[in-house]
Amino acid sequence: MPPDHISKQKSMMRGISLLFVALAASSLVFAQKCGCDGGQCCSQHGYCGTGSDYCGFGCQQNCGMNMTSDVFVKSGNTQWGTIDQNVDRSGQDLPNQPGTASGAEDCQNQCHNNNNCQSWAFDSCGKNCWLKGGVPNSAAAGCRASGTINGRGTCAQKKLSSLMSGNTKPKGANLGSWFVLEQWMSGGPWSAGGCDPNSTPGSYLLEQCLKNKGKRQSVMNNHWNTFITENDFKQMSAAGINFVRLPVGWWHIYDDYGGAQNVQPYVSPTDYQTGGLAYITKAFDWAAKYGIGVLLCMHAAPGSQGGTDNSSPPDTSGSHYWDQYPNNQAATVDSITKYVKKYNGHAAYWGVALLNEPRGNVQVLKAYYLSAYAAVRKMTNKPVVLNPIISPFQYGTEGDWTSFMQGGQYTNVWYDLHYYSCFGGDPDQNNSGGAIGYINWDRKNQIAAFKAAQPGKKMLIGEWAGANHFGDDNVVGFVNAQMNVYGTADGWTFWSWAGSGGGWNFRDMLGKGIDKGQLNQQC
């Protein structure tokens, strides 16, 4: 190499060395300035971490790749998220809000530069900028822009954010018999009151028995307080559950309105114990704390939509009166509207299921769904979930449903199908091999058939269980097979989290060693 080239190379190397020292010193200053823990680095935007999103001009260690400062101020950085126009996020404000910003990008930047900010909202017709310590539900709104900062918050907050954004599927359990009681699942209230379950099936008749014995308030309060507790939500989150389906009665929401007797229009009966709504609110609060979304499910409508104990029948005839009287349907819309108004701004609110396992007139049911959908859409764009007729069983692929709620005006509509293997017919096999075979072939094909018939809709397997009639003890393999196949749908919830055993109790299934790898993030 010529001598003059060697001299130039040495000079260049000295320059690079000095630049490296300067950058290293800059990195140390940045890390000290924002107080990152050991093993973390500090980005130029003042937050700490170890992933590639944290690597800026002043921080080059412990990162998957090195990024220049220019990358951070461009939308290519995955931490920024998108700016959603005409969308608001209401609630969970940090202290001293709102501030001001010159525009949506400035508001987004302020959130990004604040370690405690997970989302933001901007008044596009003014200058107000709200920084938020969580990720409230989004809703359509004029003069608003909003967005999230990805990767912020605790494990539970990240899990919930991922569910709400649609990045992870809802997978979890029902909280059956907490608010709409079934004696076979939670027999304690019947025993406490000396009530015969044969003559008092379901919530309403049980409560009348308890009332006649002067025990209604104490027994019901004890049940609400003990059947499901905060520890259950903690266990669910630790196992990887990110979603619960919460069955409620039409009457609970009227605790906010002086009791169910104040429902409009008039329906009968309305004599229910007050107090349950406070525990429904606890369910939402615990769910948010542990990173779990909540599907609010209308499980018992006025007059009973199913005539069975899980829909709080008014008598023991097995009759369903919900579809026979227009006031029943109108009152159900009123109840749904009040529930969604109360909870749709809650961090844990995922969506609402309009009616569980209805029987009767399908045209009446469809008319109700249209009315309830319209009422809900005035408040939120979160999922609205429909159940087809349960008996005779409909799969959502029938003409009644493939021609229903089509077109761009119907958004985020889900169907809830219930797949059991213990009520007779082809799914009810006498050995686990046959039962698992039915799941792996027939159920898989049913899911595929729904997707083909309903390309604009999503599918929740809202109820399924390990309950069976086969003689061997391979219930774990049976549950694993169902989780695997139902994972090809858009989500699922096992029936149920607590209560009876025998393949009906997901908490017990976790203890027996089912595959938690098919669930979501464990927190």
**pLDDT value of position 79:** 64
User: Do 72-152 and 156-518 have matching folds?
Assistant: no
Residue with tokens 């060395």: 17
Q: What is the mean pLDDT of residues 14-32?
A: 38
DSSP 248-262: EETTGGGGGGTSGGG
Q: What residues does each domain of the chain span?
A: 72-152, 156-518
How confident is the model over 221-280, as pLDDT tens digits? 999 999 999 999 999 999 999 999 999 999 999 999 999 999 999 999 999 999 999 999
* Tens digits of residue pLDDT in 135-156: 887 888 899 999 988 777 889 9
65 has pLDDT over 50: no
Kindly give the residue spans of alpha helices, DSSP state H, lying in 323-423.
326-343, 362-377, 399-402
The residue ranking higher by pLDDT, 336 or 157, is 336
Taking only the tens place, the pLDDT of each residue in 295-342 is 999 999 999 999 999 999 999 999 999 999 999 999 999 999 999 999
Lowest-pLDDT choice from 41-50, 181-190, 292-301: 41-50
Query: How far is it, in rounded angstroms, from Cα 12 to Cα 8?
Result: 6
Q: Comparing 66 with 81, which gets the higher pLDDT?
A: 81
Report, as an integer, the average pLDDT of 410-437. Answer: 97
Per-residue pLDDT averaged across 49-73, rounded? 38
Q: Are 77 and 53 in contact (CB under 8 A)?
A: yes
- Taking all residues of the chain, what is their mean pLDDT, rounded to a whole number? 88
Q: How many CA atoms lie within 13 A of 289 on its CB side?
A: 14
Comparing C-alpha atoms, which of 103, 98, 102 is closest to residue 145? 103
Closest CA to 216 of 275, 279, 129: 275
| Confidence band, pLDDT 50/70/90 cuts, at residue 40 | low
Range from 158-162, 250-254, 503-507 carrying the lowest mean pLDDT: 158-162
Whether the predicted pLDDT of 508 surpasses 80? yes
Query: Which CATH number applies to 72-152: 3.40.50.920, 3.50.4.10, 3.30.450.40, 3.20.20.10?
Result: 3.50.4.10
Question: In Å, how far are 14, 27, 441, 507 from 20, measured between CA atoms?
Answer: 10, 10, 61, 56
For 31-98, the three-class secondary structure string (H helix, E strand, C coil) is HHHHCCCCCCEECCCCCEECCHHHCCCCCCCCCCCCCCHHHHCCCCCCCCCCCEEEEEECCCECCCCC
Return the pLDDT at 76. 29
Which uninterrupted H or E stretch holds 128? strand 128-132
Instruction: Say what the pLDDT of residue 167 is.
Output: 92
Q: Are 264 and 197 in contact (CB under 8 A)?
A: no
Contact 182, 206 (CB under 8 A): no
In this predicted structure, the answer to whether residue 36 has a pLDDT above a threshold of 80 is no
CA angle 343, 349, 352 (to 5 degrees): 85
Q: Which of 5-9, 191-195, 420-424 has the lowest mean pLDDT?
A: 5-9
Give the span between the Cα atoms of 466 and 482, in whole angstroms.
9
What tokens does 258 get? 């002086």
The more confidently predicted of residues 368 and 502 is: 368
Listed in sequence order, the DSSP H helices in 119-229 are 155-164, 188-193, 202-212, 216-226
At the topology level of CATH, where does 156-518 sit?
TIM Barrel (3.20.20)
